[in-house]
Amino acid sequence: MSYTEIEYSVADRVATITLDRPERLNAFTYVMRGELIDAFDRADADDDVRAVVVTGRGRAFCAGADLERGAGTFDHDAVKDVPGEREVFADGVPRDGGGTVALRIARSLKPVIAAINGPAVGVGVTMTLPMDVRLAADGARFGFVFARRGIVTEAASSWFLPRLVGIAQAMEWSVTGRVFDADEALRGRLVSRLYPAEGLLDAAYELAGEIAANTSAVAVAAVRRLMWSGLSASSPWDAHRADSLLMRAFGAAPDAAEGVTAFLEKRPAEFPMRVGRDLPGDVPVWPGPDPTGAA
């Protein structure tokens, strides 16, 4: 698939997905939706990709949904002629486009690092919530502005945001709809660290490189699924069982033998297992099948 609204590249075992509509502050469209989903499919299918970095071209990360169509922007029936594929649930309810992207990112087998280089508003911030680490430029700004546009939080952010920042902070940002600065995002635990704009991508690549150089790809994929699925486990006993199943599967596998041997021999590990070939069947399927029958 060739892309028109994002750019996809791979170097040093790291895939970079760049939102690429700088003239529109990388505003989200249904075309971008399809391209993002395809890019994450592509990254998961490539065993040479060990981590994914997502950033924006120009001075914004993503300014939210493209509002060029005016008052009817969020009217599903009014935008049927807008380019880009739409999806519906089995009962005919149209799926929120941002949600299809968020759930595809949630399903990623590779760790995902957001390098938020500028304004991230609306779907521009909610799409980052299922990413594993959010790094931001110190001049970035954020906003869950939906209530100020007369709509509701989307992209499954009613599930992700309270789990990341707590219900009180999630409610404050969502019901005021105000735009806030990077320092507040850091204090509220929305982002992990701030950097000068010129150092942001280097920091993201350094983190991605640390993953690529030192860890088992299969173990990382399993840990990612364990962590995210564990957020909705009913008790630590459920997490204990999931851990135990995978400790049994991984303990007898080649990567565990190599990891221990390399440590004892004081050398870098060369893990032989590959995600596309060797991921154990006991790794949680998350997000699970949709109860309405949608993909």
Confidence at residue 290, expressed as pLDDT on a 0 to 100 scale: 63
Confidence at residue 204, expressed as pLDDT on a 0 to 100 scale: 98
Tokens of 212: 């690529």
Contact 293, 90 (CB under 8 A): yes
Cα separation, 6 vs 64, whole angstroms: 15
Confidence at residue 291, expressed as pLDDT on a 0 to 100 scale: 53
pLDDT in tens, 150-175: 999 999 999 999 999 999 999 999 99
Q: Look at residue 137 and give its three-state secondary structure.
A: strand
- Cis status of the peptide bond prior to 287, with omega within 30 of 0: yes
**How many CA atoms lie within 13 Å of 63's alpha carbon, on the beta-carbon side?**
15
- Model's pTM, two decimal places? 0.94
pLDDT in tens, 240-274: 999 999 999 999 999 999 999 999 999 999 999 99
Contact 225, 280 (CB under 8 A): no
Tokens of 270: 């060369």
Beta strands at 141-143 and 179-181: parallel, antiparallel or unpaired: antiparallel
Residue segments in the chain with a per-residue pLDDT below the cut of 50: 295
Confidence at residue 160, expressed as pLDDT on a 0 to 100 scale: 98
